[in-house]
Amino acid sequence: MYGDDIASVLISEEEIASKVDELAELVAKRYPADAPEGDLLLVGVLKGAIFFMTDLAKKLTVPTQMEFMAVSSYGSSTSSSGVVRIMKDLDKDIAGRNVLIVEDIIDSGLTLSWLLRNLSSRNPASLEVVTLLRKPDALRTQVDVMAVGFDIPNEFVVGYGLDYAERYRDLPYIGTLDPKVYGG
């Protein structure tokens, strides 16, 4: 539906679904359903992580609550500026809670390391990260991640929540964007 903007399908809808099952199983094992800290708190990073977050939550066998945060580091460019701004903060206090950040993609890792520092200063009982995608650059940044769905090549990807200039989030798969779209 986007003409030839998508150069190739990198991860199909079916591959995403079975990975989400796998990650849900892994996550559920780490958090007891009757933890004294209460329900696991999923913190989704808007907007890219919403498809992953809702699919993951539906597959988790432990009760979860959901909060969202919006941070901005990119504008509509395709490389990280390292400058992170909170566009929307959490509605609730996370002190004493088991918090799991749900991310769409870790690229340079700058956004996530900033987010980890920010959220840990609010004294959660625990703070972990699950990300659907990770690019090779992230391996050079020191960010501890509990679970990763797919390590992907260093290409700009869209779909399943990921956008370029707010487009392509609605694709059910993850694809690479033809460089002509961003003038590459």
Q: Which residues are catalytic?
A: 107
Nearer to ligand XMP, 53 or 110 (CB): 110
Q: Where are the beta strands (DSSP E) in the chain?
A: 6-11, 40-46, 64-72, 85-88, 98-106, 126-134, 147-151, 157-158, 174-177
* Closest of 69, 55, 63 to residue 23, by C-alpha: 55
Member of 24, 55, 107, 149 binding ligand XMP (CB under 6 A): 107
Member of 98, 111, 128, 175 binding ligand XMP (CB under 6 A): 111
Segment interacting with ligand XMP (CB under 6 A) among 13-21, 52-60, 73-81, 92-100? 73-81
SS percent in the chain: helix, strand, coil, step 5: 25, 30, 40
| Calpha distance 162→174 (Å, rounded) | 8
Task: Considering only residues 151 through 180, tell me which ones interact with ligand XMP, judged by CB under 6 A.
Answer: 156-158, 162-164
**Smallest separation (angstroms) from Mg ion to the CB of 25:** 27
Cross-strand bridge partners of residue 65: 41
Binding mask 21-40 for ligand XMP (x = CB under 6 A): --------------------
Residue 118 engages ligand XMP in binding (rule: CB under 6 A): no
Q: How far, rounded to the nearest angstrom, does the alpha carbon of residue 59 sit from its chain's CA centroid?
A: 16
Q: Which does 105 bind (CB under 5 to 8 A by kind): Mg ion, ligand XMP, none?
A: ligand XMP
Does residue 158 contact residue 174 with C-beta atoms inside 8 Å? Answer: yes
| Calpha distance 99→71 (Å, rounded) | 17
Binding mask 42-61 for Mg ion (x = CB under 5 A): ------x-------------
**Smallest separation (angstroms) from ligand XMP to the CB of 177:** 8
- Measured between alpha carbons, how far apart are the two ends of the chain, in Å? 21
Q: Which residues bind Mg ion (CB under 5 A)?
A: 48
Give the interface with ligand XMP as residue ranges (CB under 6 A): 48, 73-74, 80, 104-112, 156-158, 162-164
